[in-house]
Structure 1
Amino acid sequence: MREFLINVTRYPRYLVAFSLGVIESVVGPMARRRSNPVTAVALVGALISGGVSLTLVLRAMVTAPVS
């Protein structure tokens, strides 16, 4: 049972490390390109549209009628 609990405690650490790695690999290149105004506007637009899309999808999933 002790080995099982040790394995279970590894998963949250793995999730945090994986998430931080993905965020760093996405934000790093974007941060280098922010000096160009056209690219900065495009990045802001992409972030806003991604947030709106995510919000609409999650709202549709939560309020979907159950048949």
Structure 2
Amino acid sequence: MKEFFDNVLRYPRYMIALILGIFFALFQRIQPLIKNRTAAAALVGFVASALAFVFFTLRAMLGLVPT
């Protein structure tokens, strides 16, 4: 039974390592774009519009009404 719990406790570490690896890989690909002012502004606009899209989509799907 101890081996089972040791195995289960490995999954959170694996998840954190996976998420950090994806973040660093994406950051290295985006880093040259940040140096260019026009590309950086477009990147900020894209990220802001993506977050707004997710926010409004989830709000509509969950039926949340602002009070």
Q: Same fold (TM over 0.5)?
A: yes
Q: TM-score, normalised by structure 1?
A: 0.77
Number of the residue aligned with 1:10: 10
RMSD across aligned positions (CA): 1.8
Which structure has more RCO (C-alpha within 8 Å, separation ≥ 6)?
A: 1
- Does the C-alpha gap of structure 1 residues 40 and 54 become closer, same or farther in structure 2, counting only changes over 3 Å? same
Give the whole-Å Cα distance in 2 for the aligned partners of 1:54 and 1:31.
24
Gaps of 5+ in 1: none
Counterpart code for 1:20: L
Identity of aligned residues (%): 38
Gaps of 5+ in 2: none
4+ residue segments displaced more than 6 Å: none
